[in-house]
Structure 1
Amino acid sequence: MTSAAKSLASETPSADPPEPTARQAVVLDAVLALMQEQGGQLTMTAVARRASCSKETLYKWFGDRDGLLTATVQWQASRVRAGRYDRQKLDASSLRDSLRDFAANWLSVISSATSIALNRLAITHAASQQSNLGQIVLNNGRFAIGDRLKPVLEEGRAAGLLQFDDTEAAFRTFFGLAGRDVQIRLLLGDDLKLGQAEIARDAAAATDQFLTLYGRKNMIPAAA
């Protein structure tokens, strides 16, 4: 197994897991598609068949089924990133943009059919102890996503734009404002439709609410 594949298969959360190769990405997309179609009936044989590769290749790249699931969760979660900014020139505008982009990316991911299928499966496995998929999703989804945004919050505090004592508490507040009840409603089958316009609106509102709570007075201008 290559060092990149070992990292992909790790259950340890990573803010920036290595990018899979183009061929590995095909495999990970195949896993997500099978989860959406078949739920928990996911086998290495089915993945190999869907991705047109051998089971030996899957084991070489990902180690085992849990390694493949970990890499799949990391691949899905990698779509959620904070906006790019120059830490030396962080200002109110770039901070707002970073937070808004993060919220929009996250809402887009959790409202996708593949994400809903993945999280439903993880909940089922966690309840039945069928596998450790629930912990894999926590480590490489929610916790890794937090590790991506927390440095942005801390940079904002260092720049005098934000004020808070506990980074984790500040992140959880933003996470809650962005997500509200969207994910639980989707997981429970609510026919909630989130288009690009709705996601952009909700991301901007969550960002403004967060900055109202944590922005230093007169440091965060209202959004245009």
Structure 2
Amino acid sequence: MKVLDQQEEEFSARQGEVLDAVLSLLVEGREALTMSAVARRASCSKETLYKWFGDRDGLLTATVRWQASKVRAGNWDRQKLDASSLEESLRAFWANWLGVIASRTSIALNRVAVSHAATAKSNLGAIVLANGRFAIGERLKPLLEAGREAGLLEFDDAEEAFRTYFGLVGRDLQIRLLLGDGVELTEAERTREAARATKQFFALHGARASQP
């Protein structure tokens, strides 16, 4: 059975433009993220925003999901999964994640979420967790479980395995980005970092016969 990328295609092209406008406002940080500000930037009415996304939290939730959807698990065949295709899919997923998480939009979104969580200004912190980190975990765990079913990986709990992998890839990157370190990863560096983390993950959880 071929498993396709779990990226949601729930947003129209026009809605995507609106969500990109939200991200632009977050990156600039020059004005409060209100429905009026988004309507002006996206050249649409507030009524349209309320119709599409509900309230402000609904708009923020859609924005986080839109950004998180850029991290893709790719296409893989459960019945034909071998060590090579598993490694390739995992490396591609994490290289993609590194590119998204290091983008100006993700950094701005995470910074705003942290500040809101600290002041209880909104539910953005919980929204980012649910539709960002947790959703990405749910996107990758089926591939990890397929690797286990194929006898390529060994672990008891998929969530724990994902968290281990997440730490191997991310290391201190996110905190450095949030604190303004200005880390910039080229495509080659992202690929190399993903390959390093994958090798380490297989050393921890790879079945003996599938060690790369």
One of 145, 154, 158 as aligned partner of 1:163: 154
**Secondary structure class of the residue paired with 1:165:** coil
One of 10, 13, 25 as aligned partner of 1:19: 10
**1:182-193 maps to which residues of 2 (within 5 A)?**
182-193=173-184
Encode CA deviations 1:162-210: one digit per residue, 9 max, x unaligned.
0011111100010001111111100011121211111111011111110
Runs of 4+ aligned structure 1 residues displaced above 4 Å come to: none
Encode CA deviations 1:28-62: one digit per residue, 9 max, x unaligned.
00000000011671011111111111110000000
1:95 counterpart residue number: 86
Q: Which runs of 5+ in 2 are unaligned?
A: 1-5
The offset of 1:16, in angstroms, is 4.7
CA shift in 2, pair 1:176/1:45, >3 Å: same
Encode CA deviations 1:129-167: one digit per residue, 9 max, x unaligned.
000000000000000000001111100000000001111
One of 125, 132, 136 as aligned partner of 2:123: 132
8 Å CA contact 1:39, 1:117 repeated in 2: no
1:215 counterpart residue number: 206
8 Å CA contact 1:153, 1:167 repeated in 2: yes
8 Å CA contact 1:74, 1:140 repeated in 2: yes
CA shift in 2, pair 1:31/1:175, >3 Å: same
One of 170, 174, 194 as aligned partner of 2:185: 194
Cα RMSD over matched residues?
1.2
8 Å CA contact 1:83, 1:99 repeated in 2: no
The offset of 1:219, in angstroms, is 1.8
Q: Which runs of 5+ in 1 are unaligned?
A: 1-14
TM-score scaled to structure 1, two decimals? 0.90
For 1:140 and 1:72, the matched residues in 2 are separated by: 9
CA shift in 2, pair 1:58/1:89, >3 Å: same
**Secondary structure class of the residue paired with 2:184:** coil
**Secondary structure class of the residue paired with 1:218:** helix
One of 163, 166, 178 as aligned partner of 1:175: 166
For 1:138 and 1:40, the matched residues in 2 are separated by: 24
For 1:191 and 1:76, the matched residues in 2 are separated by: 20
CA shift in 2, pair 1:29/1:155, >3 Å: same
For 2:206 and 2:167, the matched residues in 1 are separated by: 17
One of 15, 19, 30 as aligned partner of 1:28: 19
Encode CA deviations 1:107-128: one digit per residue, 9 max, x unaligned.
1011000000000000000000
TM-score scaled to structure 2, two decimals? 0.95
Residue 104 in structure 1 maps to residue 88 in structure 2: no
- Which stretch of structure 1 is more off in the superposition, 23-32 or 184-193? 184-193
What is the letter of the counterpart of residue 81 of structure 1? R
Residue 68 in structure 1 maps to residue 59 in structure 2: yes
Residue 59 in structure 1 maps to residue 50 in structure 2: yes
8 Å CA contact 2:7, 2:70 repeated in 1: no
Residue 123 in structure 1 maps to residue 86 in structure 2: no
The offset of 1:218, in angstroms, is 2.2
Question: How many pairs were matched up?
Answer: 207
For 1:91 and 1:80, the matched residues in 2 are separated by: 22
